[in-house]
Amino acid sequence: MSLLVIWCSPNQEGLTAKCKSALVSGILEYGMECSEVHLNRLNIGRCQVCSTGFGQCAQKGTCVLEDDFNRLYALMQQCDALALVTPVYWHDMAEPLKALLDRVRRCDCKVNHALSGKKAMIVACAGGSGNGAVRCLGLMEDTLKHMGMDVRERIPVTRFSSSYMPKAIQSAAWHLCYELNEKPQ
């Protein structure tokens, strides 16, 4: 069993990074294998909206762009569950994650259906007013559900809750591992 943690933020030591580290701690505390992907280090371009709206993604389940997308989409398919952690930008997920999910959705929900049924947890870190954290989670969840993914936990973090939420994230990650590994279905 393995959990893939995908996160983005330009700040290696900001609120998002802190929440991501708490999530990884929960996975390792349980004893499950964990891989981390920092999207800001990868080259994942935006969907080119080929043809009249649907291109190769809708026919073959692959993307015409040759960047880091294919490798990461393969990792997403191979893992047993997925955790996504993003800063809240404009009440939405940050652009690197949006670019990834836009392209994954096109390939997955039309052809591959490889992520359907996969469990996920999502975390949105709002360091400003805190406005938009819940909306951001809603938008992320809509995209994952479009692919048939099973969103088990959605966690908003604001600068007002930033002192105690990392502990909750660690616990939530531990429980997701428990659910994957031991809980009777």
Ligand X SMILES: Cc1cc2nc3c(=O)[nH]c(=O)nc-3n(C[C@H](O)[C@H](O)[C@H](O)COP(=O)(O)O)c2cc1C
String of contacts with ligand X for each residue 75-114, x by CB under 6 A: ------------xxxxx-----------------------
Give the angle subtended at the CA of 119 by the CAs of 175 and 53, to the nearest 5°.
Answer: 150
> How open is the CA angle 182-184-185, to the nearest 5 degrees?
120
x-or-dash string of contact with ligand X, 38-77, rule CB under 6 A: ----------------------------------------
Query: Which residues on neighbouring strands pair with residue 4, listed in sequence order?
Result: 35, 82
Residue 160 near ligand X by CB under 6 A: no
Q: Is the dihedral of CA 117, 165, 173, 46 positive or negative?
A: positive
Q: Which is nearer to ligand X, 17 or 75 (CB)?
A: 17
Residue of 50, 160, 57 whose CA lies nearest to 103: 57
Binding string, residues 125-154; x marks residues near ligand X by CB under 6 A: xxxxxxxx----------------------
Minimum Å distance from CB 170 to ligand X?
A: 17
> Phi/psi at 181 (nearest 5 deg)?
-95, -35
The residue (of 55 and 130) whose beta carbon lies closer to ligand X is: 130
Q: Which of 4, 5, 6, 15 binds ligand X (CB under 6 A)?
A: 15
- Dihedral, CA of residue 4, residue 176, residue 154 and residue 164, to nearest 10: -100
Q: Rounded to the nearest whole angstrom, what is the least distance from the CB of residue 26 to ligand X in the complex?
A: 19
Number of alpha helices (DSSP H) and beta strands (DSSP E) in the chain: 6, 6
- Binding region for ligand X (CB under 6 A) out of 13-21, 77-85, 106-114, 165-173: 13-21
For binding to ligand X (CB under 6 A), which residues are involved?
Answer: 9, 11, 14-17, 87-91, 125-132
